[in-house]
Amino acid sequence: MAPAVDWMEMLGWTKDQIQEVRQTGFQFFQDGRFETARVFFEGLAALETDSPYDAQLLSAIYLELDDNEKALLWAERALAKEAGHLPTLLNRAKALLMLQRRGEALPLLEKLAKSADLDLARDAQALLLAYR
């Protein structure tokens, strides 16, 4: 469904400006300033660009902020745009574990533990060891 308001057109921002804002927001994320990063990426997500990145990062930010309901919500939104994104699948599993939904998290972690991405596979294996 088309948005009721075309916020991008209203702002007059191009992809370059969006990218600059995204990079700045990511710097705050990297520096551990998750609340500031959240403001950046909530705004970017509201602009409804095609990029799944903002939703992916919001999932990670909300995990850091211990808001697991929102972490799960944004992980699912991100996965609706890019289903196989492994870090987001791992974030989804983490949020499910925090929400005491082990029955959904463990099968997902078992799949991720076999991933070709060894770092991610190790994280999944560690979570399985801790929670199974």
Partner 1 sequence: MVIDRANLPPEAYSDYASATRNYEENLSSLKLPKGRDAGPDLSHAARAVEVFGVEMKVPWLTKLMGLFQGARFGKVDRPGAFVKLRSPLFLASTGPLQKTEAALEKVRAATSQLGDLPSDLQVREIEKGQAISHLLEEVNVRKKMVEEVIGTMNQYLRG
| Residue 13 Cβ vs partner 1, minimum distance, rounded to whole Å | 6
DSSP reduced 3-state for 69: helix
Residue 89: both structure tokens together: 């699948």
User: Does position 69 bind partner 1 by CB under 8 A?
Assistant: no
- Which 26-65 residues touch partner 1, going by CB under 8 A? 27-28, 31, 33, 36, 39-40, 42-48
Contacting partner 1 (CB under 8 A), which of 20, 66, 69, 117? 20
CA gap 128, 125 in Å, rounded: 5
Over 75-96, what HEC string results?
HHHHHHHCCCCHHHHHHHHHHH
In the complex, which residues of this chain contact partner 1 (CB under 8 A)?
3-5, 7, 10-14, 16-17, 20-21, 23-24, 27-28, 31, 33, 36, 39-40, 42-48
